[in-house]
Every structure is written in C-alpha cells, then in structure tokens.
A and B are shown apart, each in its own frame.
Chain A
Amino acid sequence: MTPPRRGRLLWALLALSALLLLAGLAAGGDGWSPAGLWQLLQGPDAALIVGQIRAPRTLGAWLAGGLLGLAGALAQGLFRNPLADPFLLGSASGASAAVVAVLAAGALGAQGVMPVAGWLSRIGLVAAAFGGALGGVLLTLLLARGAQHTLRLLLAGVVVGVVLSAFSDLITMLVPEALRGRQVFMLGSTGYLGWDSCALLALGLALTLPLAQRLSRVLDALVLGEDSARSLGLALPQLRLLLVCLLAAATGLAVSQAGLVAFVGLAAPHLVRRIAPGAHGYTLLASTGAGAVLLLAADVVARSLIAPQELPVGVLTALFGGIYLLWLLSRQREA
C-alpha cells in the first residue's frame, strides 16, 4: 500500500464526515427529509429542533463513534489481537452494572427500604455509566495485578465481565422495573446527546487522541513481540498501563453518553487496516475517523428508517458490523 492511499482514506473520511454531519441535520422525527429541514429552518422552531436537538445529537454521534474507533484501535494494538474490542476489559459490564444499580435505586426511590437507594438515584445515569466503566477496568487491573501480562489482563477482563453482568442480572431480577432502562442502555442511543455531552466528548477526544498518537510507537514495537519491545528500551509495564487507562477513558466516555454501541470499535480498525494498512500512528487517527463515520451513518439510518419511530442505533451497528466482518472472513478464505 502506498502512502497516497492512506492520505486518500483520510480525505475520504473527512468528506464523508462533512456529508453525514449535514445529513444528520435532516434526519429527525419526520424521517430523512432535506425538504423538511429547509421548511424547519424557515420556521420559528429552527433554533430548538435543529440547533438544540439535531445538531448536538449528530455531532455527538460523530464524536462518540470517534472515541469508540480510537478505543478499538488501541485495544487491538495493545492485545495484538484483531478480535479485541473496547469493551474487553470490563468497561461495558461495569457501565451497565452501575446503570442498572441507579435505575433500580430510582425505582425503589424514597420507599425507605434502603437509605442508599435515594442517594444512588441522584447520581444520574451518565455519571454512573462513566464511573462504572472506569471501575470495571480498575477491577480488571487489580485482578490482573497491573497490565504487564496480556493473557492475565484478558482473563481478568473476561472474569470481571462475567461477574459484573451477573450482578446486573441479579439486580434486574430483584427490581424488574430496571429491565427496560437496562435494555435501552445496552442497545445504545444518541437521542439524549446535548451540547454539554458534545463538549465532554470533544474534550475527551482532544485529550485521548494526541496522547494515544504519542504512544503509537509503543504499539508499533509491541507488534514485534514484547521481548523486542523491551529490547528497544521501552518501559513496557508503565506504558501499557497508560494505554489501558487511555482505552478505559475513551470507552467510558463514549459509553456513558451513547450506551453500549456494538461493533463500531471492532469494525473501524479492521476497515482501516484493510483499506490502508500502516503504522499505529496512522491507524489510530484513521480508526477514529472511521468509527465516527460508522456510528453517525448508522445513527442517521436509525433515525430515518421507521420514522416517526426510531431504531436503537446499536442494533444497526451490530447488524452492519456483523455482516461486514462475515464478508471480510469469507474474502480472506478465498484469498
């Protein structure tokens, strides 16, 4: 692959982003309708419907997708495994466990059954999801006693995932009112993203992406194997821990705002490596763009397909992502 191809992919992602960001403004309660957008802009509701709802939602989906794409590329580089995804280290199960706990607390409410319940229900679902995601990863790190050993880290992540999911199941069994909210969180949604969410997501991306790129050298070295990486004089334990923290922050932020959107983090780096393979500095950047485009495209379709109702965006990303990965596998077998 020649460098121009990599450049072309970045330009294509940029162009697609611009196109989709515009398309997102035209996708809403009446389905996808540019004419409807034009009418709306002439009317008195433009500031509210377009300015306060559609615009932040569209930008938010793009940013959350970017964070997931970045996290996916980080995870796959860190674990040297193309099947790694951002939710691997317990962040997904941690986030949903915290969300379920808050939902259940809200349902129990001021019943006086548990004083904790009233306090928990005030945390809010976004903060709970973020805290839960970080907590899940922290638990994984504790169980694995740091990030030195890939296998131990992966196993600890699986264990934390299973245990925290069981915890969520237990709470939903005890407080069935939390079931519907949990399901909505697990399917992902961009419907509640406002400008404040966008500011948080943008800040997160602005902090994690440059840092990740500075660490891309470590990921490149890891491709050669841990011994070779160490022989290059890299302080692997600390650097890997830093990478895990970046991965957790990016994932936790995206998940807290948009729920557990499936497959974007897995598919985006695949897509980039397939079209324009390169060093990790490039892969991280391009995966961020690819994730952003994937999630926003899915969101525009999710808003339009069965309007005035809406599909959960996670259903579409899982469907598209799954079909894409299957296609990829079959192509590889033929080759």
Chain B
Amino acid sequence: MAWLLVGTAAAAPPQRIVSLVPGLTESLCVLAACARLVGTDRYSNWPPEVQALPKLGGLDDAQVERIAALKPDLVLAAPSARAVERLQALGLTVIVLHTRSHEDVQHNLRRLGDLLGDAGRAQAAWAAIERQMAEAAARVPPAQRGRSVYFEVESTPYAAGPQSFIGQTLQRLSLHNIVPAVLGPFPKLSPEFVVRAQPQIVIAEDRNLRDMARRPGWAALPALQSQQVCAFPSASYEVLVRPGPRMGEAALQLADCLAGLGKEPR
C-alpha cells in the first residue's frame, strides 16, 4: 500500500499516468510524457504509440479494476464521471480538466507542464499552436474572409457554435458563424435554420456532406450549389473536433481548404 501514499503526496512529477480523455492524452504526448502513459480511454488514438496501450473503457464506463492494477500516480479525467469519485476513493490522484475552449486547452497544457515539472515545454507547446493559428489565419485568402460558415458536427444537425473551440478557430480564420453565440457551444439546429441562414461555406465530415443536398430544401444552399464546401475524411475530421494540441493543425487544414475554395468560380 506504500505506493498509495506516494500517489497522494504527488510532490514528484507523475511517472505512471492514465488519461481518460483523448485531448489530454495528446497534450501529454506533446509535452514529451507519452512514455509515462500506462493506459488510456478507448477513444484516445493519437499519437499512434498510444494505440498499443491498454484501453480502459470510456470516461463514463471506465474499468476501475484495470486502472487500479496499473498503479497510476496520476489519472486525468473530465468532470461528472462517476469513475472519478471511485478512483479517488481508492486513493488515486485524479485531476479533472475541462476541454471546451482554446483557453481550456492552454490552461490544461500549463497545468500538465507544471505537474511534469516542465513549464517551459508547455509554454512552447501553446506557442506552437498559436503560431499555427496565426499562420492559418494568414493563409485564408482575402476573398474568403468574413464569409458565413456552417460547421456541422452531427447530421441531425448539430453545429459548432462560436463558443466552442471549433467556433473560436473559425473566428480566428475570419469566418462568420451562422450560429449565434446564445445557442451554446454545440446546439442542435432546425434544418430550416441552416437553409434560411444561407451559409456561404459548409464544413463537415465527407460522409455527411455526400448526402447533404438530398435533405429537403438544402439543395438550394449556395455553398452546396457552387461547391463551397470543405469535406474532410474521418481521419482529418477527427483532428478538427478534438480539443487538444492539434488545434493549430486543425486551423491549418481548414485554411488550406478555404484557400482551395478561392480558386473555384463563385
């Protein structure tokens, strides 16, 4: 039981970490602590080396016994999971972090950097994201700036609102979100709302975009008619919807698509 005491003292940097949130897994690896990960949730898949680690369920159905058996000295989780209470009751150190906005990601990097005793690397990691964001913003052709955009998260349809980390990125790229901020980070929209908002650009996963024009009334969307769409295959789409250190990469992906749109006739 001695390791329990060491775990709760938490003075030394953690050496055996379990992450139950994909974005936090990525943050750890960017901070060069990938080797300290001993297990992740089933959704963590980047960088590739974490795929070989034990998969310990999801945040809501985390496998307590397997996590405890790995003897982590730090478990990273998101709020409102019952697993958090149980793991803490077993004497494990659990840190609960939000991953909703750019500020959250920055805060998480700083927090993890402090824990790992490497604040400098955390600063550099955030600076790299900032640099990529700025580069992405510069890559957006002037003709595309200020155009209205609809970012589809789910085909039901759920959109990314301005408060979400995706919305924040779109704003950095000088795009105008058709969703007003009052609707919250990921609002479920009425299909009619999108048709009436007449977005000039549509961004979605390619499998959702394929059938989009077949939705009643959607064929009239100017973005679909003139092919002003960014369709991402699931692998690169995943980068877009993951709040973590690859947000800069996501911004670049979006900017490259926008630059490509400029070449086509409007």
Contact = CB atoms under 8 A, between A and B. Distances in A.
A125 B184 contact: no
Interface in B140-169: 154, 158, 163
B58 interface: yes
B218 interface: no
A192 B64 contact: yes
Contact of B68 (A48, A106, A192, A196): A48
Per DSSP, are chain A's interface residues mostly helix, strand or loop, or mixed? helix
Interface stretch (B24-32, B75-83, B171-179): B75-83
Contacts of B188: 173-174, 176
A309 interface: yes
A14 B134 CA distance: 69
B49 interface: no
A177 B85 CA distance: 19
A29 B55 CA distance: 11
A53 interface: yes
Interface string A165-204: 0000000011011001101100001011010100000000
A107 interface: yes
B191 to A, nearest CB: 14
Contact of B82 (A111, A113, A125): A125
B154 A29 contact: no
A103 B61 contact: no
Contacts of B55: 309
A124 interface: yes
Nearest to B42: A309
A33 B63 CA distance: 17
A212 interface: no
B1 A48 contact: yes
Interface in A277-320: 308-310, 312
Given A102-B80, A174-B188, A196 B60 contact: no
A5 to B, nearest CB: 39
A54 B65 contact: yes
Contacts of B63: 29, 191, 308-310
Contacts of B196: none
Interface residues of B, number: 34
A70 B158 CA distance: 43
A196 B89 contact: yes
B90 to A, nearest CB: 6
A310 B158 CA distance: 31
A226 to B, nearest CB: 42
Interface in B63-98: 63-66, 68-69, 79-83, 85-86, 89-90, 98
Contacts of A48: 1, 4, 68, 90
Contacts of A49: 65, 68-69
Contacts of B58: 180, 184
B79 A106 contact: yes
Given A48-B1, A176-B154, A184-B60, A28 B80 contact: no
B57 interface: yes
Given A113-B184, A189-B61, A181 B80 contact: yes
A192 B82 contact: yes
B126 interface: no
B57 A45 contact: no
B222 interface: no
B60 A121 contact: no
B242 interface: no
Contact of B79 (A28, A57, A121): A121
A135 interface: no
Interface in A181-238: 181, 183-184, 189, 191-192, 194, 196
